[in-house]
Structure 1
Amino acid sequence: MFTIDSFVLYVSDVQDSMDFYAKAFDCEPSLLSPTFAALDFADNVKITLKQTTDLTPKSEVKGGGTELSMPIADKETFDKLFSTWKSKGIEFAQEIEASVFGFNFVAVDPDGHRIRIFTH
């Protein structure tokens, strides 16, 4: 059966994106080449950052077309994460809102990739 190894996000500047993900997730991404980086994200899943100027094969697709969706176990942790990210200057496409699946907010990385955090 298949397993997922990583999600590749196309980025315009790998260093800017590394800085963003390091700040958001309190981790240290590994620069694997001048245009490619990876960070351990969840059990056996990495987020990899690939600079659009160095894609093989070339692609017309640019960054910003992806949404990572992540559940948080409880509202207290959810609220704390939102406050922490806000204090770190992370940009939000949507601040906390109630929806049919619970509470959620949407942060954006430097290329416009969306990170939706939600809880019940």
Structure 2
Amino acid sequence: MPEFNFLILYVDNPPNSAAFYSDLLGIPVIEQSPTFAMLPLREGIMLGLWSRHTVEPAAAGAAGSVETAFAVSGVGEVERLHGDWKARGLRIIQEPTRMDFGTTFVALDPDGHRLRVFVPQDAG
């Protein structure tokens, strides 16, 4: 079976997006060119940032139609990250909210991609 190892977001400016994610997540940029950048999310899983202007075949989807989700260990961590990301100037489109799956909030990256932070209900 094929192994999942890459998440690619189509972005306007890969170097700018790489700097954003490197700072936000505290991870290094391990590859960068004017049209592509790559960061390690965890062992064997990479985040690719590809210029929406050069991706082939051309992408038709819009930012915000999928989410990148980050699970954390507790409600306190959801609230801490919410405050940190808000202070960094990220646009928050959902304030911390208790939902059927747990406590969560949603922010947007500079390209409008959704970033969901959550703690599963049984861990909160």
* TM-score between both structures, scaled by the size of structure 2: 0.85
Distance 1:69 1:59 in 2: 22
CA RMSD of aligned residues (A): 1.6
Q: 1:10–1:62: 8 Å Cα contact kept in structure 2?
A: no
Post-superposition CA distance 1:10-51 (Å, at most 9, x none): 011112211221222122223432110011112311110000
The one-letter code sitting in structure 2 at the alignment partner of 1:117 is V
Matches within 5 A, 1:75-90: 75-90=75-90
Which structure has more relative contact order (CA 8 Å, sep 6+)? It is: 1
Q: Which runs of 5+ in 2 are unaligned?
A: none
Q: Which contiguous aligned blocks of 4+ residues in structure 1 show a shift greater than 4 angstroms?
A: none
Partner of 1:55: 55
* Structure 1 gaps, min length 5: none
TM-score by length of 1: 0.88
Give the equivalent residue in structure 2 for 1:72: 72
- When structure 1 is superposed on structure 2, of 33-42 and 50-59 the one drifting more is 50-59
Counterpart code for 2:34? P
SS of 1:86 mapped into structure 2:
helix
Shift of 1:80: 1.5
| Structure 2 residue identity aligned to 1:2 | P
Task: State the 1:112 CA deviation.
Answer: 0.9
Equivalent runs, 1:31-46 vs 2, <5 Å: 31-46=31-46
Aligned length, in residue pairs: 120
How far apart are residue 74 of structure 1 and its match?
A: 1.3
Q: Which residue of 1 is the match for residue 102 of structure 2?
A: 102
